[in-house]
């Protein structure tokens, strides 16, 4: 049983995606991008403050990042099905989302992103949670039964096996920012100018 759990964890960690994934409008989403960042290992989990600062310092296609603010069951399901999470013993794991009740016990609010300061208008708490034992919102997952994995929220302590970043902003449709677009077009413009110059008598 122990060996099977270790092998399953290793396989899940090895299959982690390398780039963010987009929840497109055509599939019922919001066009935001999401990424999962695993901890270094199950023996070196990520601290919430580190997860939050790393998320806020990250960008994708010019869009600012923040710890994910999950506002619907559909959004949560998209996250659940998009990543292979780092799992520990017992084939279970946890990943920080972007809410905390450090300001007022039991009052979980989104910290950053478009919903910053708002209370949770949707929740996916596991039965018995929030338990009052932790101050940080985390997605908890269990693959003890790999055919019927379970996902739910817990109020976590200050460490988890990873975190989920969400990227959104003015370029929600996934179109590169003007500066990025110019960088992409610059070689083509230069080539066209060079050909025009060469064609002149």
pLDDT value of residue 170: 54
Q: In angstroms, rounded to a whole number, what is the distance separating the alpha carbons of residues 23 and 13?
A: 22
pLDDT value of residue 180: 37
Question: 79-112, pLDDT tens digit by residue?
Answer: 999 999 999 999 999 999 999 999 999 999 999 9
Instruction: Please choose, from the candidates 105, 104, 79, the residue with its C-alpha nearest in 3D space to the C-alpha of residue 163.
Output: 79
- Residue 51 in any domain: the answer is yes
Number of folded domains that form the chain = 1
Percent of the chain at pLDDT > 70 equals 75
- Residue 78 in any domain: the answer is yes
Q: What mean pLDDT value characterizes the chain? A: 84
pLDDT value of residue 19: 84
Question: 149-172, pLDDT tens digit by residue?
Answer: 999 999 999 999 999 999 998 544
- Residue 199 in any domain: the answer is no
- Region 113-121 average pLDDT: 97
Percent of the chain at pLDDT > 90 equals 74
pLDDT value of residue 7: 43
Q: Which two tokens stand for residue 189?
A: 């413009």
Q: What is the CATH number of the domain that holds 89?
A: 3.10.100.10
- Residue 179 in any domain: the answer is no
pLDDT value of residue 174: 39
pLDDT value of residue 195: 47
Question: 44-88, pLDDT tens digit by residue?
Answer: 999 999 999 999 999 999 999 999 999 999 999 999 999 999 999
Query: Domain range spanning residue 34?
Result: 2-174
- Residue 194 in any domain: the answer is no
Measured CA angle at 77 (ends 74, 82), to 5 deg: 125
pLDDT value of residue 169: 86
- Residue 187 in any domain: the answer is no
Contact yes or no for 35/85 (Cβ under 8 A): no
Per residue in 155-189, is it b (16+ CB within 10 Å) or e — as a string?
Answer: bbeebbbbbbbbbbbebbeeeeeeeeeeeeeeeee
pLDDT value of residue 44: 98
């Amino acid at each position: 049983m122990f060996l099977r759990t270790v092998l399953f964890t290793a396989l899940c960690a090895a299959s982690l995606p390398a780039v963010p994934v987009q929840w497109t409008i055509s599939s019922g989403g919001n066009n935001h991008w999401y990424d999962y960042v695993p901890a270094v290992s199950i023996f070196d989990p990520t601290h919430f403050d580190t997860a939050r600062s790393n998320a806020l310092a990250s960008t994708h296609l010019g869009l600012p990042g923040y710890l994910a603010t999950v506002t619907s069951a559909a959004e949560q399901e998209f996250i659940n099905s998009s990543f292979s999470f780092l799992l520990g013993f017992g084939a279970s794991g946890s990943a920080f989302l972007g809410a905390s009740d450090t300001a007022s016990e039991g009052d979980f609010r989104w910290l950053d992103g478009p919903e910053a300061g708002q209370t949770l208008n949707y929740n996916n708490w596991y039965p018995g949670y929030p338990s009052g034992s932790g101050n940080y919102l985390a997605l908890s997952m269990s693959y003890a039964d790999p055919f019927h994995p379970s996902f739910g929220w817990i109020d976590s302590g200050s460490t988890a096996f990873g975190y989920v970043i969400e990227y959104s902003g003015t370029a929600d449709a996934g179109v590169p920012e003007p500066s990025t677009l110019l960088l992409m077009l610059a070689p083509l413009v230069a080539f066209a100018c060079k050909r025009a110059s060469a064609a002149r008598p």
